[in-house]
Amino acid sequence: MSDRKVTKIGVLTSGGDSPGMNAAIRAVVRTSLYHGLEVYGVLRGYNGMVEDDIFKMESRSVANIIQRGGTILKTARSKDFYEYDGRKRAYDNLKKRGINGLVVIGGDGSFNGALRFSKEFDIPCIGLPGTIDKDIAGTDFTIGFDTAVNTAVEAIDKIRDTADAHDRLFIIEVMGRDAGYIALHSGIATGAEHILIPERKTDIESVIASLQEKEKRKKLVNLIVVAEGDEFGGAEQVARVVKEKMPNVDARVCILGHIQRGGSPSCIDRLIASRMGYHAVECLLTGKHNVMVGIQNNKMHYTPLENAVKAKQKINEEWMRIVKILAS
């Protein structure tokens, strides 16, 4: 807690974009205005802070954006912000406007920047978990994850139709960097026979043995969902090994890529983004500073930023057992 009174709030989006960021921006702006605070948008993340690309926002600034993907504030990575001189310029740009509170919507890298900035210049920061990867501890969902998973599920369902028509094996790569949640959730939801994620060591020989056993049973339609950060090397590498071991299998690769990052946010993402944005402003007003706003068991949960950047979500063992049993 802190007794510092926040009167002007800056809001920015940083790191990779995710569906629902606009809903969070809208909630921050309108909650700030409701409480009589001034609110400023920072364009292109920390870059905009360093380069003084900051503008005052009004209620109409966020009209008709809740349904839009991406972020109206743009996002970028800032090399200058890694250096103290860059952060000092950013602080000076906030100070001349009287901005004394900051809401950062992004992932763990964004929170790292916010934590360092806050410690150096005594600007209270609130983090909102905006990332499709769901790789941040302290919240059951991150803004954008639900939309990304639904996008992947829709695509994989369509791929299964083609797989079924041609008796093919499809190896589908989804996003997630070094987190396997999109692969896990979309793989279970689409009935994938195998799900390969970075959190578990890939036993490729076991995968091959399973495919060979299914081939004997004349089960020719198989889906393997691979997280892009899987330690084995992604869909292309898995396909190469499968073709070496099973040359008669018609195996195809499909990399879903950035379609998972775009698109209109789902209802869940709009709701959690709105809720988190509202509580971010409430935190700054009540002196609950330098925390990440999350939701656990449908209740607001506040994680100190220093813990949010250190911890990672862990895959529940129950999920892995479910994958094994349902794919058998």
The three-state secondary structure class of 124 is: coil
Q: Is 175 known to sit in a ligand binding site?
A: yes
Q: Is 203 tagged catalytic?
A: no
Q: What is the pLDDT of residues 149-184, one digit of tens each?
A: 999 999 999 999 998 888 889 999 999 878 899 999
> Model's pTM, two decimal places?
0.94
Residue 78: Cβ-neighbour burial (10 angstroms; 0-12, 13-18, 19+): buried
**Which residue would you say has higher pLDDT here, 108 or 89?**
89
Q: Is 110 known to sit in a ligand binding site?
A: yes
Of the candidates 3, 85, 122, 133, the residue annotated as catalytic is: 133
* DSSP calls for 73-92: T-----SGGGSHHHHHHHHH
On the question of pLDDT at 43 being above 90, the answer is yes
The pLDDT of 239-268, averaged and rounded, is: 92
In order of their start, the domains of the chain are 8-144+265-308 (3.40.50.450), 146-261 (3.40.50.460)
Rounded Cα gap, residues 91 and 256, in angstroms: 39
In angstroms, the Cα distances linking 219 to 122, 241, 250, 292 are: 62, 20, 13, 47
pLDDT at 10: 98
How does residue 201 score in pLDDT terms, banded at 50, 70 and 90?
confident
Mean pLDDT of the chain: 92
Structure tokens at 135: 């790789």
Q: Is 31 known to sit in a ligand binding site?
A: no
On the question of pLDDT at 291 being above 70, the answer is yes
- For the beta sheet containing 54-57, the strands, ordered from the edge strand earlier in sequence to the opposite edge, are 54-57, 38-42, 8-13, 101-106, 125-129, 291-296, 299-304
Rounded Cα gap, residues 9 and 263, in angstroms: 28
pLDDT at 13: 98
Q: Is 160 known to sit in a ligand binding site?
A: yes
The pLDDT of 133-149, averaged and rounded, is: 94
